[in-house]
Amino acid sequence: MASSCPHCKERSLHPSRIEADLPALSCDGCGGSLLSLVAYRHWRENQPEPANGNGDDGSLDEIKDTSIALCCPKCQHFMTKFRVSADARNQIDLCVHCDEAWLDRGEWQLLDRLALAGKLTLVFTQPWQNRVRSTEAERRAEQRWNERLGDDYVRAQEIREWLRSTPQAREILAYVNQVRDDIPL
Instruction: Note the residues at the interface with Zn ion (CB under 5 A).
Output: 5, 7-8, 27, 29-30, 72, 74-75, 95, 97-98
Question: Minimal distance in Å, beta carbon 121 to Zn ion?
Answer: 16
Between 64 and 97, CB nearer to Zn ion: 97
Q: How far is the CB of 78 from Zn ion (least distance, A)?
A: 9
Instruction: Report the residue number, 30 or 60, with the smaller CB distance to Zn ion.
Output: 30
Q: Which is nearer to Zn ion, 39 or 172 (CB)?
A: 39
- In this complex, which beta carbon is closest to Zn ion, that of residue 98 or of residue 163? 98
Q: What is the DSSP annotation of the chain?
A: -PPBPTTTSSSBPEEEEEETTEEEEE-TTT--EEEEHHHHHHHHHT-SS-----S----GGGS----S--B-TTT-PBPEEEEEETTEEEEEEEETTTTEEEE-TTHHHHHHHTT-GGGHHHHTSHHHHHHHHHHHHHHHHHHHHHHHHGGGHHHHHHHHHHHHH-TTHHHHHHHHHGGGGGS--
In the bound state with Zn ion, the residue whose beta carbon lies nearer, of 34 and 114, is 34
Nearest distance, CB of residue 116 and Zn ion, angstroms: 22
Assess contact for 81 and 67: CB atoms under 8 A: no
CB of 74 to Zn ion, least distance (A): 4
Nearest distance from C-beta of residue 63 to Zn ion, angstroms: 15
